[in-house]
Structure 1
Amino acid sequence: MSADLSTTTGARRAAMVERLDADGVLTDVRLREALLSVPREVLLPHAYVRVSDPGVEPIEWRLLDGAHPDDREEWLDLIHSGESVLLQRGGEQLDALVRGPVTGGHMTSMSTYGQATVEALQTLQLGPGQRYLELGPGPGVSLALAAAVTGPRLAAGVERDGRMAAFAQRNLDRIGLGASLVEGDALDGHPTKGAFDRIHSGIGVPCVPPAWVEQLAPGGRLLTTLTTRTPSWPGQLLVTRSDRDRIEAVLRGRPRGYRPMVGYRWLSALDHRARIKACPGRARPTRLAPPPDDAYGFWLAAAYLAPGLVRDFQAETMTIVAPEDDSWAVAGPGDGTVRVHGPRDVWAELEEVHARWKAAGRPGTYHADLTGGSGHQHVTSGPGPKALTWTLPPLTTVPPQTA
């Protein structure tokens, strides 16, 4: 790397850290030092930019090559912006990509957006000397940051995609932090079956794989996204194992979460957007004003107790769709009515869940039992007959990757 580029990237990392400081996101001193020192440009040497609008198929992309002078400024801006960086389409080879326009394919690997990475590593309370495991690390940005905090040869990752695993390990070796990455099924944990003090999953899972709990050391912390069919209301699960081997798992709603594991298909409101705009449905009275976006405890409960719903966050007023039932609800603005369409009364279901949530004391967090003998993992808001409860869906079988 040239001296000029090294100076430029150092300045961009400093500006990125300043934004995280100003937003009140970054509080850990060690992680701050890691963000300033880890060269993102090595781990993210290229990036895809989507050109076509959402819902348009086939998708039009443009590949930025960080080594090309015509792409460099845009590429540097993107990889230090804090946004997710798109790296790989359809499990493609990563050592012979050609810059410029490209058509088709869907992203199979990307870096996590910066704020989520910082929040996750800080929630894990990462420190020197800890054994760290990253499940589904993709290009290895958070793995590299963790290695900078824990120290050499203590941070490891498991990546399902063999091409991405080789790409990320090659770049991690260039940085020289002693992070290791192996190809394998992240749902099985690390193939050594060793114990780890901190485990972070970069993929959303419907429930917690038993191997993850088994590989959590006493005093350890595990963080993952629990995914449902909807991308709208994700849950973040923090699992701790006490020094006396007691497992506790706390689930809370979050505004954003990680993408689901391979084979888990999200619902989408895009196909219904034009129809809803043309005919929002019949008006009916409502006893429920549109709940605020940050009522995360309610929305998380709705993801499980009114399943099959997805919100169109681009709509002018709150619009929630049941795409598989050709049903939707459009709330507001502020006239005491909602408009509903289709055989499923989406808003009536949300009214019922909201009433139950209020009766349960408006919980913001839930507790998950990961140790039940039946093999099922159950969630509850607390004791008593008015508590909100549900069972997490099982893991799905995912075919092995083929070349």
Structure 2
Amino acid sequence: MAPDVIPIAAAKLRHQLAARLADGGWLRSPAWRAAVEAVPRHEFVRCFYRQTDAPGLTTWTPVTADLLGVEEWLRQAYADDTLITQFDGQEIDWTDPEPVVGAHPTSSSTLPALVVHMLEELRLHDGMSVMEIGTGTGYSAALMCHRLSPGRVTSIETDPDVAARARDALKRCGYAPRLVVGDGLAGFPEGAPYDRTIATCGVRHVPYAWVRQTRPGGLVLTTLRGWMRSLGLVRLTVGHDGRAEGRFIDGDPSFMIARQQDAPASLGTIPAPDNGSSRTTPYGPGVLTTARHGFVAQLAMPGVRFFSMPDDDGTPCTYVLDGTNESFAVLTSKSDDAWNVRQGGPVALWDVLESSLDTWCTAGSPEPTEFGVTVTAKSQRVWLGAPDGPSWRLPAPAETADGFV
């Protein structure tokens, strides 16, 4: 494909992508459809990685125009897929890219369906200003620039290399938003107050700086998640009293967690075989992985991660470890419908989980959209049904005189 043909082919692919997103119900408004049809995503993903189906450790293969040809590169650039652009916080040598095995993605261009879904739910109007946390490739910032104007968009990226690539791509496309390299969890007070704040990374709690920097009546849109799983996309309205409150829009959209809130490398200490006290439980490790049960499990045990491996005598075990306080629970199968749990440490993890699941089941096992979030300068909690209903505290950091650190 000749270079002068690329813009024509890319424009056709953009219109096809917009049509697919509209047909899927993700793209609803003419203004955002016009942005998707205008912003050249391929300029933001000139080089990227795609996951393969190879057995064993997760393997990623590089995708560039030189490796696959311009036509196939363009086709993949406009697929409704997440395209990985960095692993383990390290830049890639694109002069000779190699397959990557067993690495941890740390930057990407999120699948367009989720990008436009969030932008639609942000309820932007002409003349508004927006702060974006997590510039990434710069594609979503470009969409907002097209919708509003570059002068009304502030985007913050913690990784200088990622930010530099985004700046170059935005410049190639004719967009010049305010780009900030720094800690997105602290926001950018110099540009406040913003009408809207949107985060394209997952957070364990909502940084109160975002609430302070969003005007009363404005919206904060972010994905809450934990170290086990994503909780969901939540939209908060900022009040005049400094409180932000709202509901989950949907459950389980998955974003990379903000690097400042990522889990520690160590999962915790495996307990000795004679540690803790044992009893039976009706809940096995499946409650940690199924969608709705897992949502409640993440709320109940915010500092937990888990894994399965045989113990010394070969019995399959699931270890549930809280790296923040050394509490643990160990699950082993007892029968088809019963399990044995051995737990210890300062918090009886499985007791807490069972209590939360009982509360949820008593309420009729509602979907995540029946849960909401309240954020103040002193506490953050997720509640069920209404703000005065059953609630779970989010793992927010210690407060300071002007909010959270």
TM-score by length of 2: 0.76
Cα drift, residue 311 of structure 1 = 9.7
Q: Deviations over 1:134-161 (max 9, x none)?
A: 1012111111111111123111201000
The match for 2:393 is: 391
Offset of residue 371 of structure 1:
2.0
User: Does structure 2 conserve the Cα–Cα contact (< 8 Å) formed by 1:65 and 1:99?
Assistant: no
Where do residues 2-401 of structure 1 align in structure 2 (5 Å cutoff)? 2-51=3-52, 56=57, 60-66=59-65, 68=66, 70-93=68-91, 97-101=95-99, 105-231=103-229, 233-241=230-238, 247-252=243-248, 254-265=251-262, 286=282, 296=292, 299-307=294-302, 308=304, 322=320, 325=328, 327-328=330-331, 337=337, 352-360=355-363, 362-363=365-366, 364-372=369-377, 375-381=378-384, 382=386, 387-395=389-397
Deviation per residue, 1:3-56 (Å, 9 max, x gap): 321121112112212221222221111111101110001111111134485872
What SS does the corresponding residue of 1:153 show, helix, strand or coil? helix
> What letter corresponds to residue 374 of structure 2 in structure 1?
D
- Cα distance change on mapping 1:190 and 1:329 into 2, 3 Å: farther
Change (3 A) 1:265 1:77: same
- For residue 63 of structure 2, what is the amino acid of its counterpart? L
- CA displacement 1:154-206 (0-9 Å, x = unmatched): 11201000111111011101111332312111011015242111111111112
Q: Which has the higher strand share?
A: 2
Q: Structure 2: how far apart are the matches of 1:193 and 1:354?
A: 43
* Distance in 2 between residues matched to 1:55 and 1:366, nearest whole Å: 37
- What do residues 307-352 of structure 1 show as CA deviations (whole Å, max 9, x unaligned)? 526699xxxxxx98736757458899xx8x2556765999886654
- Work out the percentage of aligned pairs sharing the same amino acid: 26
Aligned-partner Cα distance in 2 for 1:35–1:366: 31
Gaps of 5+ in 1: 269-283, 313-318, 397-403
Instruction: Out of 151-160 and 84-93, give the one that drifted further.
Output: 84-93
Tell me, yes or no, if the aligned pair for 2:106 and 2:256 is still in contact at 8 Å: no
> In the TM superposition, what is the alpha-carbon distance from 1:216 to its structure 2 partner?
0.4
Deviates more, 1:142-151 or 1:218-227: 218-227
Cα 1:323–1:8 change in 2 (3 A) is farther
8 Å Cα contact 2:319-2:330 kept in structure 1: yes
2:190 is paired with a residue whose SS is coil
What SS does the corresponding residue of 1:177 show, helix, strand or coil? coil
Match of 1:273 in 2: none
Question: CA 1:342–1:6 in structure 2 vs 1: closer, same or farther (change >3 Å)?
Answer: farther
Distance change >3 Å, CA 220–CA 54, structure 1 → 2: farther
Moved more, 125-134 or 164-173: 125-134
**Contact 2:343/2:350 (CA < 8 Å) preserved in 1?**
no
1:87-131 deviations in Å (ceiling 9; x for gaps):
123333468543444567532211112221111101101222211
Name the SS for the 1:165 alignment partner.
Answer: helix
Q: What letter matches 2:393 in structure 1?
A: T
For residue 192 of structure 1, give the secondary structure of its aligned residue in structure 2. helix
Secondary structure of the residue aligned to 2:299 is helix
Q: Which amino acid in structure 1 is aligned with residue 295 of structure 2?
A: L
Corresponding residue for residue 311 of structure 2: none
Which amino acid letter does the alignment assign opposite residue 370 of structure 1? V
Cα distance in 2 between the residues matched to 1:251 and 1:239: 7
1:238-287 Cα deviation digits (max 9, x unpaired): 11135x5664422425122322111444599xxxxxxxxxxxxxxx8959
Measured against aligned partners, the alpha-carbon deviations of 1:348-397 in whole angstroms (never above 9, x if no partner) come to 8665433211334655433433225xx2223322366xx3211110249x
- d(CA) in 2 for partners of 1:331 and 1:304? 26
Q: 1:277 aligns to what?
A: none
Q: Which amino acid aligns with 2:70?
A: R
Q: Secondary structure at the match of 2:68?
A: coil
Residue identity matched to 2:109: S
Q: Which amino acid aligns with 2:13?
A: R
State the shift of 1:75 in Å.
2.4
Unaligned runs of at least 5 residues, structure 2 = 266-279, 309-316, 323-327, 399-405
Letter in 2 for 1:303: Q
- Report the TM-score when normalising by structure 1: 0.76
